Structure 1
């Protein structure tokens, strides 16, 4: 558990057989937001740490970039402990969650829409997530300049609490066909990201970037 940037807290687990680190984040703002849940096993480890950081604060939202086990596998477990928290996701992800019986309090967001509280502004960006190119969402927190990259900025290795110097334009150029298989959607996403000027990238896997 790391206070990784301003009031952003990172929770991480490293899996040696695949040399990959999985991150979840809590923005400890006036209306706290959890970004991803991890798998069920990761969520079991996350929960006591999450409660410790939250203290008397109440978890308000759970952001899910796309439907995959490390993004939302532990969502049902999180909701058992925080039943009033509201998942935030794309329409396609909401439909997928409904197949697992998660239907209550879901907030559906479209690209270009925002979620605004007294001290943050989350702006949603279309994310054609691999491999089926289902429309997921990426998030830019505009007041702090934090970009939540999900699987888009990706590095292997043990990266618990790791922050490295980054080059935003180079990261955009390095988006691979494996990450976004359709060339037109890849180019569209890259053009959208070029308009952003984040100060910090909170990655789903690997070291975070200070820009």
Structure 2
């Protein structure tokens, strides 16, 4: 697992799978109320936790954001909570239902599309995300302060796993979403319309290089 400092208070953690080839990314926002975006699989979380502890320097992790229910978004949640038992999990109602079904009992903040979670060091706005084959109600998030879009499993960049950062264009990324990303024409068009006018500077991809936008 590689740790990459993107901004002064913002880190990316990335694990390569050369067989696919694909990277798996998690992100950490530091500050008075630190936020982790995704846990990775349990194997990845076991590598991630020691790195987070060093960066936190004795501070507690406050939040973890889970965009949708899948192993690389929340597979290591139980392990994370064994080290940071006071973490509040941020997710959609459907994601919570899946977590509860696997025995999850910790504190959760359920958010809906267009709602905002504001803390001392970040301001997240949530966007509806019809995730995976079942089109379950997940969430995408924008850090309105840093203008970072957490894109989960859209804007995936394969075959360039050695790139840490890359440049792109927001219109290009949104226009090139397709049915592999969202397997429903109607849901795809709705998502594209919801994203088109967003003001962001960066895309924190779930898989692939961190994107800086022209």
**Among residues 156, 163, 166, which one is paired with 2:165 in the alignment?**
163
Shift of 1:163: 1.1
* Alpha-carbon contact 1:126-1:189 (below 8 Å) kept: yes
TM-score (normalised: structure 2)? 0.95
* Conserved? CA contact 2:151–2:203, under 8 Å: yes
3-state SS of paired residue (1:137): strand
CA distance in 2, matches of 1:50, 1:133: 32
The verdict on how the C-alpha distance between 1:76 and 1:158 changes in structure 2, with shifts beyond 3 A counting, is farther
- 1:125 shift after superposition: 0.5
Choose which of 80, 85, 100 in structure 2 pairs with 1:83: 85
Q: Distance in 2 between matches of 1:125 and 1:55?
A: 32
User: CA, structure 1 residues 161+81, in 2 after alignment: closer, same or farther (shift >3 Å)?
Assistant: farther
Which runs of 4 or more aligned residues in structure 1 lie more than 3 Å from their structure 2 counterparts after TM superposition? 157-161
Output the CA distance in 2 between the equivalents of 1:201 and 1:160.
Answer: 17
Question: Alignment partner for residue 197 of structure 2, among 179, 195, 198?
Answer: 195
Could you report, residue by residue, the CA deviation over 1:117-148 in whole angstroms, capped at 9, with x for unpaired residues? 12311000000012110010000000110000
After TM superposition, the score normalised by the length of structure 1 is 0.97
Distance 1:160 1:36, change over 3 A: farther
Unmatched 5+ residue regions in structure 2? none
SS in 2 for 1:125: strand
CA contact (8 A) 2:21 2:161 kept: no
| Displacement after TM superposition at 1:160 (Å) | 6.0
- Give 3-state SS (helix, strand or coil) of 2:97's partner: helix
Please name the residue that 2:150 is paired with: 148
Matched, 1:18 2:20: yes
Q: Does 1:134 align with 2:136?
A: yes
Alpha-carbon offset, residue 161 of structure 1: 6.7
Instruction: Quickly say closer, same or farther: Cα 1:151–1:32, change in 2 above 3 A.
Output: same
Note if 1:53 corresponds to 2:55: yes
Q: Distance in 1 between matches of 2:163 and 2:119?
A: 27
How far the C-alpha of 1:205 sits from its partner, in A, is: 0.3
Q: Deviations over 1:65-119 (max 9, x none)?
A: 0000000000000000000001100000000000111122011000011110123
In 2 relative to 1, CA 155–26 (structure 1 residues): closer, same or farther, beyond 3 Å?
Answer: same
